[in-house]
Amino acid sequence: MADWSPSTYLKFEDERTRPARDLLAQVPLAAPGRVVDMGCGPGNSTELLVERFPDAEVIGLDNSPNMLAEARQRVPGARFDVADANSWVPEAGTELVFANAIYQWVPRHIEALQNVAAALPDGGVLAVQMPDNVGEPSHQLMRKVASEGPWAERLKDAARAPLPPVRTYYDALRPAVRRVEIWHSDYNHVLDGPEAIVEWVKATGLRPFIDPLPAGEREQFLANYLGLIGEAYPRTVDGKVLLRFPRLFIVAVK
């Protein structure tokens, strides 16, 4: 895929930051010395960590140069580096690994999370949030459009795999930690209309489908997708639409 776009991602900054706030509220640490924001993106989650833990060394990690450049401007009090979530493990003394909406992109993320948890010190915390929405109309319709157009063969492997059952995470993490808390939250984001839903997913879930396409086909894909989204998400009494967005949360304490 092409590099991430901070401006596109931040069009819905409040809605995208809300799960990070909810995850951070459940982190049972008072004053960690070193905190890592894995998949920090444009720094909106890193900013929350700096505010919550003002005396900590806060490090933001991402594999996107564009996102890291935005994050450095936004949160000058933190350190930002390039890292690959597929293989990264925290260095000794890292007491919190905070990962908001990153590990769903890692093909072997169960193994990656096990490795992160195993590297934490006693009392360390792994806090993870992942979208669990591939069964929602927003994502079902991506796959439908991909399978029916002239791009079908090129996009046959574009869809993100669904997350495994909750028990899979519990069984994977529990041997390395003393406590695992797992829960789902369903957000219902109030957006201006079907076009806003398309704009939302263009920054994230839709990218594997549209990034490989030339400009003309990309426009046709988006037009087809928008038509289906308009049918799947009818307007409410005030003309808005409700984007239901399930998310999975995990807090593991070493």
Task: Decide if 211 is inside a domain.
Answer: yes
Q: The whole model's pTM is what? A: 0.94
Task: Decide if 89 is inside a domain.
Answer: yes
Q: By CB neighbour count within 10 A (0-12 exposed, 13-18 middle, 19+ buried), where does 59 fall? A: buried
Residue type, 214: P
Number of structural domains in the chain? 1
* 181 pLDDT tier (thresholds 50, 70, 90): very high
Question: Which CATH number belongs to the domain containing residue 182 in this structure?
Answer: 3.40.50.150
pLDDT of residue 13: 81
Task: Decide if 119 is inside a domain.
Answer: yes
pLDDT of residue 247: 98
The predicted-structure confidence for 37-73, as pLDDT tens digits, reads as follows 999 999 999 999 999 999 999 999 999 999 999 999 9
Of 179, 186, 187, 160, the residue nearest 250 (C-alpha)? 179
Do 213 and 249 touch, CB atoms closer than 8 A? no
Name the average pLDDT for the chain. Answer: 94
Percentage with pLDDT > 70 across the chain: 96
Gap between the Cα atoms of 153 and 184, Å rounded = 34
Which residue is associated with the tokens 């009494």? Answer: 237
Task: Decide if 1 is inside a domain.
Answer: no
Q: Which domain holds residue 106?
A: 6-253
